[in-house]
Amino acid sequence: MSEVPCDCNRTTENGAETESFHQFFECWISEQNQHLKELLVAESSQLTGEELQALSEKVVEHYEYYYKAKSRCAKQDVLAMLSPPWMSSLEEAFLWIGGWRPSMAFHLLYSKSGLQFEARFNELIQGLKTHDLGDLSASQIAELDEMQRRTISEEREITDLMASHQETLADASMVELSHVASEMIRGNEGGEVEESKVIEEKVESALVPKEKGLEKILQKADELRLGTVKGIVNVLTPKQAIHFLIAAAELHLRLHEWGKKIDARKGNLGTAGEGKNCNSSI
């Protein structure tokens, strides 16, 4: 995405990849806030369907750019992508495999649809078109319902895959390795350098497939997240897509902002509450 200046620098060393993505995330979320402003203007404007569609495609492309950068950085430090230090404690509490739960997009859609339906009920019962999410057609609802079922099914498959992979942390090789390391510590508190190096090398070797497995699972989860957003937007009309993307951006930005305030109030010292200048004041 050429217009986006943010990037994830993969050439840094000594754990700087994590800091690099943290900076990328702050840049990206600032751009999301700018896109929200554009979406709000479009919501009340008389733009053509083609112009509205171009804007929604631009916003979806911004999400896609985020996941591409995240995928690149996950190859360097998948653990940081699964437990992001730049997120607040509130956001971390609701994480599903390093991000938002895909099925939540449908809850967001139907919540906004219900609110807009109630707000313009009188117009709708008179047969007037509101062109927002309260005005979903029967065919759209049927298509969204089927998509939701597929998403939940895929979500469960990935959840089960993660559960199975997590269990490998207690497989025979890991249990044996932890016992050998513990025996060495108990038998030699001083710690022979050569023996310690051998154990460290074995630990690193044993953890490589664990991290590779996590990377693959994270990739599947992120692909489902992005695919869900794209799928929903494709079912909606250009104007409805604008309303959906507004709701998604508002929820994400406000949760990030509220989470940082909660952390600051409770004295949490995570990086999510430090050095942030993200202006999300809409």
- Per-residue model confidence (pLDDT) at position 264: 94
Mean pLDDT value across residues 87-102: 96
Of 281 and 159, the structure prediction assigns the larger pLDDT to 159
Mean pLDDT value across residues 17-38: 90
Task: Report the chain's mean pLDDT, rounded to a whole number.
Answer: 87
Mean pLDDT value across residues 47-56: 96
Determine which of 19-23, 54-58, 90-94, 97-101 has the lowest per-residue pLDDT on average. 19-23
pLDDT at 7 over 70: no
pLDDT at 113 over 90: yes
Determine which of 8-22, 154-168, 222-236 has the lowest per-residue pLDDT on average. 8-22
Which residues, other chains included, contact 130 with Cβ-Cβ below 8 Å and sequence gap of 6+? 116, 120, 123, 124
pLDDT at 168 over 90: yes
pLDDT at 10 over 50: no
- Per-residue model confidence (pLDDT) at position 181: 86
pLDDT at 270 over 70: no
pLDDT at 91 over 90: yes
Q: Which residues pair with 96 in a beta bridge?
A: 99
pTM of the model: 0.84
